[in-house]
A and B are shown apart, each in its own frame.
Chain A
Amino acid sequence: MPKLFRSLFAILLVAGSLRGAEALDQALRSVVRIQSTTMQPDLTAPWNVGRMARGTGSGFVIEGQRVMTNAHVVSNARFLGLQRPDSPRIFPATVAFVAHDCDLAILAVEDGSFFDGLQPLSFGGVPRLDSAVATIGYPIGGQRMSVTRGIVSRIEFQSYAHSGLDAHLTIQTDAAINPGNSGGPVVQDGKVVGVAFQGIPGAMAQNTGYMIPTPVIERFLADIKDGRYDGYPELAISTFNLLNKPARDRLGLPADNLGLLVTDVQPQGACDGLLQRDDVLLSIDGHPIMSDGQIELGGERLLMVEVVERKFIGDTVVFGVLRDGKQREVKVTLKGAWFYRYRAREYDTLPRYLVFAGLVFQPLNLDFMRTYQPKDPDLLDAYEFFIDDCVYVERPELLVLSSILADPINTQLNRFTMSVVESVNGQPIGTLAQLDAALSAPAERYVITFQGADWPLVLEADKVAAAHDRIAQQYGIAKDKNLGKALNEE
C-alpha cells in the first residue's frame, strides 16, 4: 500500500432514521472499490521510471456514468481497476479529470455495463453541526464494504494534505477512520454531503476524520464542465487583523469590528495594481468583512476567502475598500497564482531534471525538499523567501545542483551540491529550459555561479563532451534531461 494511502484516511457514519436507512441502502450499492497500480517518481534518480506500488481506495457513482474519488487514490496511477459491491469482476478505468489542489478526481469506465443497475448518487448541502452522517467505503481490515457512523463535529477551513499547499472548507466528523476509506461518500438522508479524504494520523487526536464538503465538490464539477480543470483562483495578498483599537483609530475606522488590513500584494497576482499595502478591506461581494478576516456565509462564520473559493478563474469579486480615508469599490478579476505552486506536491508528471557533465540539476520545490531534506541554510532561504522576496518575478524557478554522478571531470565540485544556480557564462538562469540553453550554447568553458558560493564552478567544454557518453553509460541514464514546463508556463 503506498505511503500516501496510509497517511490520508476516510470516514463513514450512518443516519439513524428509517427513511435514512432506506436511502442508505440504495447508496451502498453505488459505492465501488478502486485498485490502483502506481509508479512513484524517484527524484534521486529522476531518469528512472520510478517505484511501483499498489493501493486501494473507494469511489462512488455520480450522474453521467462517472465515478468520483479522491485525487490521491488515483495519483500517478498506471492502471486502475473498479469493483462493484455485487460482483468480483474488475473493470479497467481511466482518470477523466483530476484536481490535486482539492483532492478530487473523476474516473471513466470504458465498459458501460459497469454502471448497469447502479443509481448515481446526488449531492446534498453542508450538513449541520451535530447532525448524523454515514461514511461508506472499503477501508483496511477486510475485503467487503464498511459503514461507520458519526456526527458532524466541525466545519472549518483546513489544509488538504494531498497537495501540501492548499486549504479549503472541510468538515470534521468523529467516526473511526481508516486507510482505504479515501474517496468514499459521506451520506446524510440519502444524499452525498462529503467525500471522505483524510484524518490525523498517530495519537495526537482521536475521532477526527475529514471530508470534502459539497461546496468544494460542486465547484470541481462546475470547473470541469468545459472539459478542463482550471483550478482555484487566488487573491495572492497578505492580510492582518484589525482588532487593535489604536490601529483602527489611526485609520479612522469606527469601533464596529469590521475591516481587514492588506499588508502585501504579490506581483503578477490577481490583485496586483488593484489593491495596495494599508488598504482596508471592508466587504467582499457585499458581505461585510470582520476584523479577524471572517464573513458570514450561509449562517456560518467563514474566512473571507471562502467567497473566492467558490468562484472560477475569470470570475470577478468586488471589494469595498478604505484607502486614504476614502471608501471605494475595487473589482478584481480572479486568476490563479502559479508562483505558489512550487510549494505543492506534484503528481502525474515525470520529474524534471537536467544532467550535465554528471551534475544533476532539478527545480527547487516541495517534492525536492521532501526528497533531499537539505540542511544548507542558503538553500533553505531560497525555498523560504521565493515569494516574500518576489524572486519569481525575475526567475520563475530556481534550479539546484542536487547531486553529482562522480566522474574524473567533476570530483572536485562537491562544495556546490545543494546550491542554487545563479548564472551560466554570465547568463542569469530562471528556468530549467534557460539552464539547458546556456549549457548547450557553444563555449570554450562553462562558468556556473551559485547563490552563496564565493567562487564559480568551471567545466571545460571538450572535457564535458568527452565525458557525456561515459557518464550516461556508467550510471544508466537513458535520457539526460526532462525539461517539461516551468510552473509559469503551464
Chain B
Amino acid sequence: MKTSLSLAVALLLLACHLPAAPGVGGSYEPSVLRVRVTRQSYDFIRPWQKESPEQVGGLGVVLGPDRILVPGWLLADATLVEVERIGDGSRCEATVECVDYTANLGLIRPKDADFAQALKPLKIRDMAKRGDRVTAVQFEGNGTPSISEGTIKGAEVAVPPGAHSSFLVYRVAIDLELGNTGITPFFRRGKLIGLMVGYDKSGSTATLIPSPVIQHFLTDLEDGSYDGFPLAGFTTVAIRDPQFRRYLGMENGEPGVYVTGVVPGNPAAKAGLQKADILVSVDHYTIDRHGQYEDPNYGPLSLSYLFSTRRQAGEKVICTVRRGEEVLELTMTLDYMARDDYPVPAAYVSDRPPRFLIAGGFVFQQLSDSLLQMWGDDWETKAPRRLTRIARHQWDLLQPGEHAVVLTRALPTPENIGYENLAFLAVETVNGKAVKSVRDVADAIQNAGPVQYHVVHFAESDAPDLVIPAGTMDLADRFVRERYGISQLMQLD
C-alpha cells in the first residue's frame, strides 16, 4: 500500500499541465485543503522499535471549521498532521478527531482557530442516482484548480480501495483532466457527493466513497462516541446449482441465500442464525438467489448493505429465515466489534503499538495480521503455516477478546542457550496458566510465587517446554538491554 500512496502524492505534486477553465473551481479553494502527514509505522517483527518516518499527502474536504474529511489511510500511524491552504500555502497543524480504517474515512481539526474560521465549509448531498452529472475537483502542483465532468454509472456494494470491508460505492464515468492524482472530491451542484479512492484510467471509471457512507460516519459521531459501521457477522453463498437447490427443497424461483457461516458472539449468532439456514428476506426486502435485494434508490444491491451503511449500531434488523420446513423470524440487534477485539486483530488496526513481552531473552508477541504481513503480500502462503492457521480459524479457537500469543524469537543470552532457533510457536500455558494475551504471560511470570523455573508450554506437540530460571530473569533483562540495545522490554496494552 505504501508504494501506491507515495506514488499518488508524487503525482499530486508533479501534475502540471491542462489548465482549467478560468474562474471555475476557484470557489472550491477555501473548501478543499492539502493535507500533509508524517507517519511512523510500528515494526511488528521488531516490536520494540518503529520504522523510519515517511511523508504522505492528499486532499481534505472542509465540512465545518473544525471538521475536515480525509480518507482514513492518510492518518494511519501519523506523528504530525498539517493542513495547507491551496491558494496561499498557509499551514496549520491539525489533530485527528476520528478515524475509521474499516471504512477508510477520517476527520481532522485545524488547531488554529483563525485558520479554521477562514475556511468555507461545504454541504453534503444525500445521494446521487444513476445518470446524475458530477464534478471532480483536482489541483495542479501550483494550485490551479482543474475541473472534470462525469456521470454516475451506478452503485454497488464492494470493498473500495483503502477500505477493509464491503461498502456502498459509486462508479463514475469520467475522464479526469489530470489523471489519477489520488484523493479527489466529487461534487454535484456544489455539494459533496463522494471522495474518489480509485480510478481506472483505461475504463475511465472513478470509484467513490459516496455521501451515504460519509453521512453514516458523521451521524455515528454525533453522540460524541464513534462506534463504526455495524456488522451482522455471517456469510452467505448464492444458491444457483439446480441439484443443490433441490437438495435444499427449494422451488425453482424461490428466493433466498444459503448461510455458510456465523461468527460466534456477533449479532447474527446472538439472534439465533445458524449455518445452513436459508435467508429469505431482510427488513421485508426479498433476498434473491444471488444474495441481492431491490433497492428503491439503486436497484439490485448486495444484502450486506442492509446491515451496514443503512444502519447504525444498536438498531434492529428483522430477518426471515427458512430452516428445513420451519420459517423463522429473527431480530438482530446490530453491533460493532472493534477490529482490535478480534482474536487475531486485523492488519488495518493502526496507531497501536504491537503488544509484546521480552522475558528471559524470549520475545512473546500477540499474533495479528500486521505480524503476518511481515512475510509480504502473499503472507497467506509464505508465513509459517502454524500461524496462518490460527489466524484463519481464530473464531473456532478463541473467544472475542482472547488473543493468540506467539514466541517470535529468542535473543540468545547465556541462560537460554539451546533455544536460539525456536521461533513462531504458539504459547499455550505459562507456569500451567492458560495464555490468552501477552499480559497473561507477564502475569503468570509475575505471580508465579517462589518457583525455581518458569515453564512455557507450546501448542505445537513437537516443541519442547521452555525452562527459564526464575532467579535469572533480571539478569536476562539487563543482558537484552545492554547487548541488544533494547530499552523497552514490554508493551502489554
A residues near B (Cβ < 8 Å) are 238, 240-247, 249-250, 261, 263-264, 277-278, 291, 375, 377-378, 380-381, 384-385, 388, 409, 412-413, 445, 447, 454-460, 463
Contact = CB atoms under 8 A, between A and B. Distances in A.
B243 interface: yes
Nearest to B391: A377
Contacts of B484: none
A264 B459 CA distance: 12
Contact of A264 (B244, B416, B461, B469): B461
Contact of A455 (B260, B385, B463, B467): B260
A388 B461 contact: yes
Contacts of B244: 412, 455-458
A455 B276 contact: yes
A377 B388 CA distance: 8
Contacts of B482: none
A165 to B, nearest CB: 17
Contacts, number: 87
A263 B237 contact: no
Given A244-B416, A244-B419, A381-B389, A454 B260 contact: yes
B204 interface: no
Nearest to A378: B392
B460 interface: yes
B389 A247 contact: no
User: Chain A interface mostly helix, strand, loop or mixed?
Assistant: mixed
B373 to A, nearest CB: 15
Nearest to A460: B243
Contacts of B237: 454-455
Interface in B439-478: 452-453, 460-465, 467-469, 472
Given A377-B388, A377-B389, A454-B235, 6 more contacts: A240-B462, A246-B453, A385-B385, A409-B243, A447-B247, A456-B244
Nearest to B453: A250
Nearest to A388: B461
A412 B275 contact: no
A238 B462 contact: yes
Contacts of A249: 469
A242 B392 CA distance: 34
Given A377-B380, A454-B275, A458-B247, A244 B467 contact: yes
Interface string B391-420: 010000000000000000000000111110
Interface residues of B, number: 36
Contacts of A458: 241, 243-244, 246-247
A192 to B, nearest CB: 38
A412 B464 CA distance: 47
A263 B464 contact: yes
11 contacts: A240-B462, A240-B464, A246-B415, A246-B472, A250-B453, A377-B380, A409-B243, A454-B261, A454-B275, A456-B247, A458-B246
A380 B464 contact: no
Contacts of B467: 244, 246-247, 250
- Interface centre among B247, B275, B380, B418, by most A CB within 10 Å? B418
Nearest to A413: B241
B381 A242 contact: no
Nearest to B415: A246
Contacts of B463: 240, 263
B240 interface: yes
A30 B418 CA distance: 50
Interface of B: 235, 237, 240-241, 243-244, 246-247, 258, 260-261, 275-276, 380-381, 385, 388-389, 392, 415-419, 452-453, 460-465, 467-469, 472
B243 A375 contact: no
A76 to B, nearest CB: 30
Contacts of A240: 462-464
B418 A247 contact: yes
Contacts of B240: 412
Nearest to A375: B381
Given A243-B418, A244-B417, A463-B243, A261 B464 contact: yes
Given A264-B461, A264-B462, A377-B380, A455 B258 contact: yes
Nearest to A247: B467
A455 B274 CA distance: 13
Contacts of A456: 244, 247
A381 B416 CA distance: 31
Contacts of A250: 452-453, 467
A455 B237 CA distance: 9
Contacts of A245: 415, 417
B457 to A, nearest CB: 11
A348 to B, nearest CB: 31
A250 B461 CA distance: 20
Contacts of A381: 385, 388-389
B244 to A, nearest CB: 5
- Interface centre among A244, A291, A380, A463, by most B CB within 10 Å? A244
B282 to A, nearest CB: 20
B474 to A, nearest CB: 15
A277 to B, nearest CB: 8
A447 B465 CA distance: 44
A280 B118 CA distance: 77
A247 B260 contact: no
Contacts of B464: 240, 247, 261, 263
Contacts of B419: 244
A463 B244 CA distance: 13
Contacts of A277: 461
Contacts of A412: 240-241, 244
Contacts of A244: 416-419, 467
Contacts of A447: 247
A278 B416 CA distance: 18
The 5 closest A-B pairs by CB, nearest first: A243-B418, A454-B260, A244-B418, A412-B241, A238-B462
A241 B418 contact: yes
- Interface centre among A243, A250, A454, A457, by most B CB within 10 Å? A454
Contacts of B468: 246
A263 B461 contact: yes
